[in-house]
Amino acid sequence: MTKDCTPSLQLNNSNSVVGQKDSDLQGYSARRLNFLANAVNATRYLEIGVETGSTFKDVSCSSKTGVDPCFLFDWETCNGTNGVKLLNTTSDLFFHDLDPGTVFDLIFIDGLHTFEQTYRDIIHAVSHSHARTIFLIDDTVPCDVFSTCRNQDQCLNLRASLYGPGDPRWHGDTYKILPLLSVFNPEYEVATIIDNGNPQTLLWRPQVESASADQQFRAMQAMWAIQNLAAADYLWFLDNLALYNPLSEQEALEKVLNTLIQC
Ligand SMILES: C[S@@+](CC[C@H](N)C(=O)[O-])C[C@H]1O[C@@H](n2cnc3c(N)ncnc32)[C@H](O)[C@@H]1O
């Protein structure tokens, strides 16, 4: 099921997003998160999937919680200092044990790159959010067909067998969360940043929920994807970019701030 909506995500021959400067590729997550944190006075930050802490350490919120079953830095030394709480566990176990009254203002989801885990992380995180919480979700835009493999080793081995080693990018099938959000979480709006670093999707509650004909059509596309999830492959993704609402970083961030629910 397609519509005449030309993808606005441009891919070059190496299948990376074009028009990026090297400086954009460093620190793009923290840059986007800090812009939003400053704009909405977010103080309570949650990051699922922290790894080396390169983003976590740079986010400027007074209270920061990070979750990872396999931290790649000396997390125990940082834990408990300057409002930092680090939990060496999976996101499922973290949410299971989390006090139901705990709420976050800004949430970065960057854990396991499968759609089931990422969607579960979002749904769990939603129950610890408020009307103005903003979510940033990584890995929603695969850079090539190899990148969509659910297994990271298979992704890298297949790509290397054709093009040689050296490209470590892996997004899994996280892209499949967009149809799920479209159908099951229509109260949320999405915008996917496609310039100035790795693409990422923003999720927030807009002031006014509207059901335009275009949105209804997208919901139908999303429903098809859910009913045929195995067939929603990389070609489906390329053919259905409109579901992701691809925008420049500036446009996407402005859109969030201009339409975020008022309390
Ligand atoms: C791409 S890295 C995160 C990068 C980090 N957010 C940053 O911006 O620097 C993904 C991390 O997710 C973690 N991870 C994998 N499965 C997870 C799970 N079930 N729950 C939480 N984190 C998980 C991995 O251990 C890995 O460190």
| Fold of domain 22-259 | Rossmann fold (3.40.50)
Please state the domain extents for the chain: 22-259
| pLDDT tens for each residue of 212-222 | 777 788 888 88
The pLDDT of residue 160 = 98
Q: Is 172 helix (H, G, I), strand (E, B) or coil?
A: coil
The whole-angstrom separation of Cα 44 and Cα 128 is 11
The Cα diameter of the chain in Å comes to 54
The whole-angstrom separation of Cα 223 and Cα 203 is 19
The whole-angstrom separation of Cα 195 and Cα 193 is 6
The percent of residues in the chain predicted with pLDDT above 70, rounded, is: 89
DSSP 65-108: EEE-SS-SS-HHHHTTSTTEEEE-S-HHHHHHHS-TT---SEEE
| Predicted TM-score (pTM) above 0.85 | yes
In this structure, which residue's CA is closest to atom 23 in ligand 1? 111
Confidence of residue 185 (pLDDT cuts 50, 70, 90): very high
Joined tokens for residue 226: 């859910």
Q: Within 6 Å (CB) of ligand 1, which residues are found? A: 29, 47-52, 54-55, 67-70, 90-91, 110-112, 117
The answer to whether 46 and 104 are in contact (CB under 8 A) is: yes
Termini Cα distance of the chain:
39
Measured in Å, residue 66 CA sits from the centre of ligand 1 at 10
Burial-class residue 76 by CB neighbours within 10 Å (0-12, 13-18, 19+): exposed
* Cα angle for residues 146, 248, 1 (degrees, 5° grid): 55
Confidence of residue 16 (pLDDT cuts 50, 70, 90): very low
- Of ligand 1's listed atoms, the one at least distance from the Cα of 121 is 20
The whole-angstrom separation of Cα 24 and Cα 28 is 6
The pLDDT of residue 23 = 53
- Of ligand 1's listed atoms, the one at least distance from the Cα of 67 is 21
Measured in Å, residue 216 CA sits from the centre of ligand 1 at 34
Residues in the chain: 263
| pLDDT tens for each residue of 92-133 | 999 999 999 999 999 999 999 999 999 999 999 999 999 999
140: number of Cβ within 10 Å: 27
The answer to whether 202 and 252 are in contact (CB under 8 A) is: yes
